[in-house]
Amino acid sequence: MTVHPDRPAGPPPPPPPPSGGGHGDPRERLAAVRQEVAKAVVGQDAAVSGLLVALLCGGHVLMEGVPGTAKTLLVRTLAASLSVETRRVQFTPDLMPGDITGSMVIDAHASGQGELSFREGPVFTNLLLADEINRTPPKTQSALLEAMEEGQVSADGVTRRLPTPFLVAATQNPVEFDGTYPLPEAQLDRFLLKVVLPIPERDAELEILTRHAGGFDPRDVAGAGVRPVADADDIAAGRRAVAGVQVSSEVAAYIVDIARATRVSPSLSLGVSPRGATALLRAARAWAWLGGRDFVTPDDVKALAHATLVHRLGLRPEAELEGVDVAQVLASAVGSVPVPR
């Protein structure tokens, strides 16, 4: 697979919100997360933007990047700056569904009697890093579907709610496919956003080396000065505020027309579904709120269109043979839709 360094990595940082919010204002506190993450992670602003948008929408993020682009460090640092719990699962071919969601086990007592009880899996956390999710078979990949869609796990006839907030940040390697299992369309559709973590620019990479030369330890984010500046209550307050962001009929029609433009593209076998259009609406509302507005503009929609829709599209085989890039097809579809004024 060809890596396209000029491909949009994800949503850029939103414009700063207007000043004037009081102490404890959730928008200002969540905006401060960027500065905390930047203490440990250099040059991945798009991924930070995507994770914040997903948290505010109750969605999940698929992160694509070659090894060594700070995917694990980013999630750990975000969790530390938000004062929430994070866990990491390394996906492998022998990983079983119960290794993720949890399973029934026998607890032995001193009397020698044992009883079945549920042992929670790593999915019972706030931020779950599903590392190299495409290295495990579809059966195990699908173990996350209920958790991602419903925020719960069902085992032994009992439904157990997951903590709030709950976000899956799954990673996959874009250049190595031996021994991998591509995510099925149903699984991809559950991710609100797909963001690409690129190799940093020269200045950013020099900054990374300078930090390491100065003693930075990526396993110790607290030692880098990262501190919690927001918490689960701020995320909950932000979600309530995002739900009140207004979407005009013209902007809603703009989103629908973008989705429909992908469905008639001759290069695509699979266009954006109504679920994808709804995801773009949700993401644009969060983006607008982070930017300090209570209404969505067409620019908000365009800023999030690539990250929200690109992984929901399927190229026709003949287009793949011709070297057509799905990101280019999406950009052409978005560009063909008149922007409302």
- Half-sphere exposure of residue 332, counting CA atoms within 13 Å on the CB side? 13
Q: What is the pLDDT of residues 105-129, one digit of tens each?
A: 887 665 556 678 888 999 999 999 9
Superfamily of domain 244-341: Magnesium chelatase subunit I, C-Terminal domain (1.10.8.80)
> What's the token pair of residue 337?
């839709």
Which of 44, 12, 302, 27 minimizes the C-alpha distance to 169? 44
What span, in angstroms and rounded, lies between the C-alpha atoms of 336 and 192? 23
DSSP 8-class letter at 74: H
Q: What are phi and psi of 152, to 5 degrees?
A: -155, 165
Low-confidence ranges of the chain (pLDDT < 70): 1-10, 12-24, 108-114, 175-179
Structural contact between residues 153 and 123, judged by C-beta atoms closer than 8 angstroms? yes
Q: Where are the domains of the chain?
A: 1-243, 244-341
Check residue 109 and give its pLDDT.
62
Check residue 6 and give its pLDDT.
44
Check residue 20 and give its pLDDT.
42
Check residue 178 and give its pLDDT.
67
Check residue 103 and give its pLDDT.
87
Amino acid at 239: R
The domain defined by 1-243 folds into: Rossmann fold (3.40.50)
pTM: 0.87
